[in-house]
């Protein structure tokens, strides 16, 4: 019987090639799009799931308050947290401290390798995290001073096939380190990644006589704790304030500030944490679940097509059902037959979808920024969703048509008295409304994303980043000669005709300033008046090179011998200091951690970071011998020649340092890359949703016009024009799309408003954001049905009436 079902289903599919092709293509596009998105979502949700004790590991988040108001939120907080919590609370089994560092040069023999990012880690790192140690003892690998642990790939690059254990390498051509272990390369789905870990004991030795482990006002330490199984984290959090008040309460009262500590589940960090000093840029939980919603919409639209076309063809298959019932077929057998057809079509669609996924995967990786590979074909995380999509789709999309088709009465069918029911027509129209409402919703969302990105990139930053070449700080430099090298380097570059200016700074526009200073106040005021500011260290030429607008006071100048003790505030920082008029702040002295500085200038507010973030209170602090990023303002001309001349001077004055550069406008716009990728992914899958919906509309229009063949013939005989007949056929679809617009608009407006609330500087929601998608979908839909409608209207009425 089952074999017979499949044989008949196959014959029906071949007999109705157009119907079958529309369904298979629509379903395969829907399933392929859904699978790609599901792989993306599964990867994002898999971050840090590989840790054996992941459910017991929490990162300690630090929220700092000034006079009761939240001022900053830190991923990397006070150094004293980990050891203090371990000593005070039995619920805490252990802790690990991580300090993120920047680039470094490693030398072994004649090999010199640059690494982009390394961490300082305390001794319990390999006890808490599940990063397998391939060589070395996990309990002692990070216990001693001047020891490092390398990743497997870095070890191979430095030592080849040699055993690196006990070998000595030099860091930045100065300090020797002993290799105490090799760990397996960190997976891509880890919220922090590195090739090198330096022992925390090394850091403690370097900062003596200071003791960071008792410092509650010294921020910058990522602290992770492992709690005992069964611990109530909320109850544990509730114990923190009393301990903090006991250990750091005097400082908090002194500065009228406080710190609140919260526990972040390790597995939530990647999607839900966007704090100061994150180990790396994290993902966005809202985006992930929104893409999951798009996947759902696309595949449901494809299933709706099948239901629509199958029920629309019900009358065409009525006689088949009548004959089957007349010769003894039971309703259950007929349902089995039609469900078999559904499973066959869905099965073929899944095979085609797999081919589409294989073809689209490289391009999808390029757009999404992920590295999904064909290895996923061997993962249950691929086959489980695929099997689920196939079974659920085939069953539910085939169930309703099967019940409709199997319910025809044989006597009425064979007498030709079967007509489309009102309920069936209403259902088909409702499903079409759903399809196009979903398409409109997605199209409005796509336009909103691109409009916001365009808005942010078009706004004035208040700082000139055009034609600016940024060179990364030198890693290796002799402190005794650095000032002479720096001055000579600047002088040589300024002699070149294509260089207009050069400046050095701790960060450049587009980077967050991790130098956060609390307790800054006017000289002579109570210590409790201290506030928190973000600090940017600059040289004399920073304001001039970046065309920063001074609204009061003056720039830094070598003519003033006191300027190394001078600072320039931005407008927001002056307001936080208590001045509404910038002129009133000029000449005022501030207490900066016990040192006295003079406010010599005030700049207008400018965007140090993207327009997603609000203006911050910034202080530009003069540091003449600053070892930071070099910003070189170019005069234009061939970029390659300019870069080559800068490289030549760099190699002359900073030998042994890699020359790493970027144009600042490109680097600044990197902040919008995640939004751009999201917009591209959103746009591509929105286009697929519309395509799948239009495939169904094309098929539905074909059957609708076929059923109205006789009506069209009679209308033409009675004098109706081709235009009036086409208009009649269009009218039904226009009404359905108009209803879709009414349904989608409020939902899209709400979703876009919620999304835009995440931006400090955002575009307004314009009326055209909804009208353009409506017009676009309407035109696409009408073009889709035009072929069938015009063909029916042009058909000779004699042919139409003879069809009966």
Do both 334 and 227 map to the same domain? no
Place of tokens 């203006």: 615
pLDDT, average across residues 186-215: 92
DSSP code at position 279: S
- Pick from 290-294, 514-518, 520-524 the range whose average pLDDT is largest: 520-524
Do both 612 and 593 map to the same domain? yes
Dump pLDDT digits (tens) for 393-405.
Answer: 777 666 766 666 6
**For the chain, how many residues are written?**
804
Place of tokens 């751009």: 676
Among 638, 669, 700, the domain-final residue is 669
Which positions ≥6 away from 186 have C-beta within 8 Å?
131, 151, 192, 193, 194
How far apart (Å, rounded) are the C-alpha atoms in residues 468 and 546?
9
Which positions ≥6 away from 516 have C-beta within 8 Å?
72, 219, 276, 532, 533, 534, 535
How far apart (Å, rounded) are the C-alpha atoms in residues 592 and 519?
7
Other C-beta atoms lying within 10 Å of the C-beta of residue 139:
12
Q: How far apart are the first and last CA of the chain?
A: 35
Dump pLDDT digits (tens) for 737-778.
Answer: 899 999 999 999 998 898 888 888 889 888 888 999 888 888
Do both 61 and 166 map to the same domain? yes
Does 211 reside within a domain? Answer: yes
How far apart (Å, rounded) are the C-alpha atoms in residues 293 and 780?
23
Does 627 reside within a domain? Answer: yes
Do both 19 and 83 map to the same domain? no
Q: Taking all residues of the chain, what is their mean pLDDT, rounded to a whole number? A: 83
Do both 21 and 71 map to the same domain? no
621 backbone dihedrals φ, ψ, rounded to 5°: -110, 125
Do both 565 and 609 map to the same domain? yes
Which positions ≥6 away from 648 have C-beta within 8 Å?
none
pLDDT of 420 higher than 70: no
Residue 717 structure tokens: 């005989």
Residue 375 confidence class, pLDDT cut points 50, 70, 90: low
How far apart (Å, rounded) are the C-alpha atoms in residues 300 and 757?
29
Dump pLDDT digits (tens) for 47-105.
Answer: 999 999 999 999 999 998 877 788 888 999 999 999 999 999 999 999 999 999 888 88
pLDDT of 378 higher than 70: no
How far apart (Å, rounded) are the C-alpha atoms in residues 431 and 739?
12
pLDDT of 418 reads 45
Do both 609 and 722 map to the same domain? no
How far apart (Å, rounded) are the C-alpha atoms in residues 754 and 790?
43
What is the domain count for the chain?
Answer: 3
Dump pLDDT digits (tens) for 102-153.
Answer: 888 898 988 888 888 899 999 999 999 999 999 999 999 999 999 999 999 9
CB distance 287 to 87 below 8 Å: no
Residue 552 structure tokens: 């009061």
Does 461 reside within a domain? Answer: no
Chain Cα centroid distance, residue 587: 45
pLDDT of 345 reads 79
Long-range contacts of 317-323 (CB under 8 A, 24+ apart): 317/405, 318/408, 318/413, 318/418, 319/413, 319/414, 321/405, 321/406, 321/408, 321/410, 321/413, 322/408, 322/409, 322/410, 322/411, 322/412, 322/413, 322/414, 323/410, 323/414
Other C-beta atoms lying within 10 Å of the C-beta of residue 470:
22
Among 220, 241, 272, the domain-final residue is 272
Q: What domain range includes position 155?
A: 54-272
Do both 472 and 607 map to the same domain? yes
């Amino acid at each position: 019987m089952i074999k017979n079902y499949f044989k008949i289903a196959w014959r029906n599919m071949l007999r109705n090639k157009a119907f079958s092709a529309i369904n298979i293509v629509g379903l395969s596009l829907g399933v392929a799009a859904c699978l790609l998105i599901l792989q993306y979502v599964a990867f994002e949700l898999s971050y840090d799931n590989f840790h054996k004790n992941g459910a017991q590991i929490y990162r300690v988040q630090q929220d700092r308050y000034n006079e009761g108001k939240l001022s900053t939120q830190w991923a990397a907080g006070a150094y004293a947290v980990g050891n203090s919590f371990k000593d005070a609370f039995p619920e805490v089994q252990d802790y690990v401290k991580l300090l993120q560092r920047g680039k470094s040069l490693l030398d072994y023999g004649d090999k010199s390798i640059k690494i982009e990012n390394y961490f300082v880690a305390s001794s319990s790192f390999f006890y808490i995290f599940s990063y397998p140690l391939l060589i070395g003892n996990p309990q002692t690998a990070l216990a001693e001073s001047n020891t490092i642990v390398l990743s497997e790939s870095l070890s191979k690059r430095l030592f080849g096939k040699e055993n690196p254990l006990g070998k000595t390498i030099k860091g930045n051509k100065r300090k020797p380190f002993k290799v105490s272990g090799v760990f397996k390369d960190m997976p891509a789905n880890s919220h922090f990644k590195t090739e090198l870990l330096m022992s925390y004991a090394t850091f403690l030795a370097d900062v003596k006589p200071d003791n960071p482990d008792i410092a509650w006002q010294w921020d910058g330490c990522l602290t992770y704790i492992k709690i005992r199984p069964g611990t109530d984290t909320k109850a544990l959090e509730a114990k923190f304030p009393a301990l903090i008040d006991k250990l750091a309460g005097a400082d908090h009262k002194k500065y009228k500030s406080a710190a609140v500590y919260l526990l972040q589940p390790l597995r939530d960090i990647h999607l839900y944490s966007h704090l100061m000093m994150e180990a790396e840029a994290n993902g966005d939980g809202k985006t992930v679940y929104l893409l999951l919603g798009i996947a759902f919409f696309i595949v449901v639209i494809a299933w709706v097509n099948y239901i629509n076309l199958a029920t629309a063809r019900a009358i065409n298959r009525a006689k088949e059902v009548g004959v089957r019932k007349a010769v003894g077929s039971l309703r259950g057998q007929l349902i089995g037959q039609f469900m078999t057809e559904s499973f066959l079509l869905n099965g073929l669609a899944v095979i085609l979808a797999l081919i589409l996924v294989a073809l689209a995967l490289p391009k999808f990786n390029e757009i999404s920024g992920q590295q999904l590979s064909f290895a996923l074909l061997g993962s249950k995380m691929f086959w489980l969703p695929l099997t689920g999509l196939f079974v659920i789709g085939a069953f539910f999309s085939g169930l309703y048509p099967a019940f409709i088709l199997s319910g025809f009465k044989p006597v009425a069918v064979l007498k030709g008295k079967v007509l489309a029911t009102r309920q069936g027509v209403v259902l088909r129209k409702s499903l079409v409304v759903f399809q196009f409402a979903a398409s409109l919703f997605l199209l409005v969302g796509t336009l909103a994303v691109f409009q916001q990105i365009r808005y942010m990139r078009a706004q004035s930053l208040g700082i000139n980043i055009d034609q600016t070449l940024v060179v990364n700080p030198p890693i290796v430099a002799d402190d005794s000669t650095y000032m002479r090298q720096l001055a000579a380097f600047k002088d040589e570059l300024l002699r070149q005709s294509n260089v207009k200016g050069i400046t050095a700074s701790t960060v450049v526009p587009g980077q967050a300033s991790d130098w956060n200073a609390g307790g800054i106040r006017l000289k002579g005021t109570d210590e409790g008046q201290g506030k928190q500011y973000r600090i940017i260290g600059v040289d004399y030429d920073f304001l001039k090179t970046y065309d920063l607008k001074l609204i009061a006071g003056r720039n830094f100048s070598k003519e003033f011998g006191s300027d190394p003790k001078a600072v320039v505030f931005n407008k927001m920082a002056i307001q936080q200091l208590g001045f509404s008029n910038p002129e009133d702040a000029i000449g005022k002295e501030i207490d900066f951690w016990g040192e006295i500085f003079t406010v010599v200038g005030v700049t207008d507010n400018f965007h140090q970071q993207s327009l997603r973030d609000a203006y911050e209170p910034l202080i530009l602090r003069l540091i003449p011998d600053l070892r930071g990023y070099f910003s070189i303002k170019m005069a234009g001309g061939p970029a390659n020649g300019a870069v080559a001349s800068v490289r030549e001077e760099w190699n002359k004055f900073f030998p042994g340092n890699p020359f790493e550069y970027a144009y600042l406008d490109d680097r600044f716009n990197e902040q919008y890359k995640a939004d751009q990728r999201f917009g591209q992914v959103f746009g591509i899958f929105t286009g697929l949703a519309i395509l799948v919906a239009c495939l169904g509309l094309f098929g539905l229009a074909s059957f609708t016009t076929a059923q109205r063949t006789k009506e069209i013939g009679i209308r033409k005989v009675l004098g109706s024009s081709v235009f009036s007949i086409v208009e009649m056929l269009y009218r039904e679809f226009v009404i359905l799309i108009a209803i879709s617009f009414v349904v989608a608009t409020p939902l899209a407006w709400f979703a876009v408003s919620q999304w835009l609330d995440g931006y400090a500087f955002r575009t307004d929601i314009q009326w055209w954001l909804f009208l353009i998608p409506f017009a676009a979908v309407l035109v696409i839909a009408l073009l889709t049905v035009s072929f069938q409608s015009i063909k029916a209207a042009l058909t000779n009425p004699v042919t139409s009436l003879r069809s009966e």
